[in-house]
Amino acid sequence: MRHHEFVGQVQARARLSDIGEATSAIRGTLQTLAERVPEGLAENLAAELPQEIGEYLRQNAQSSGDGVRFGRDEFVARMADRAGMDRPQAAYAARVVFEVMGEATQGRIMDRLQAALPAELDVLVRAGSRGELPD
């Protein structure tokens, strides 16, 4: 998936008003994710995404190794602050970003991502734009 297609999918599915909002949602989600997951996983995920989007992960990858421990509420709060969104909108936009990310990577790295996160964050990753968990 190319950069413009990724951003366009996020914009359309999250019903954001413009590309700038979609880019903010992507950046906020991936920078926050990079803080939470091990550095190597952030790098592997970044390599599977369009270069411009992967940079958001690389910029915030934790050099300490295992990532900072925080749950869903803190993830959404951090993402909301970065994206300039309220928390309900940020939670939905993050779900959309994860959904598009799964499609862009054809699921290759998403299993490892889900395994690295606690259950409360895994739900955010897997719920998608419809809020439904896959079987």
Check residue 67 and give its pLDDT. 63
Q: Does 60 score more than 70 pLDDT?
A: yes
pLDDT value for 3: 95
pLDDT at 121: 85
Q: For the whole model, what pTM was predicted?
A: 0.89
**Model confidence at 37, in pLDDT bands (50, 70, 90)?**
confident
Confidence of residue 62 (pLDDT cuts 50, 70, 90): low
Catalogue all structural domains in the chain, each as residue range(s) with its CATH number: 3-126 (1.10.490.110)
DSSP, residue by residue, the chain? --HHHHHHHHHHHTT-SSHHHHHHHHHHHHHHHHHHS-HHHHHHHHHHS-HHHHHHHHHH--TTSS-----HHHHHHHHHHHHT--HHHHHHHHHHHHHHHHHHTTTTTHHHHHHHS-HHHHHHHHSTTTT----
Bigger pLDDT: 6 or 60? 6
Structure tokens at 81: 């602050």
| Residue listed under structure tokens 């008003």 | 17
Tell me: the pLDDT tens digits for 83-118?
999 999 999 999 999 999 999 988 778 888 888 888
Which pairs from 12-19 meet CB under 8 Å and 24+ separation? Answer: 13/96, 13/99, 13/100, 13/129, 14/92, 14/93, 14/96, 14/97, 14/129, 16/93
Whether 135 has a pLDDT exceeding 50, the answer reads no
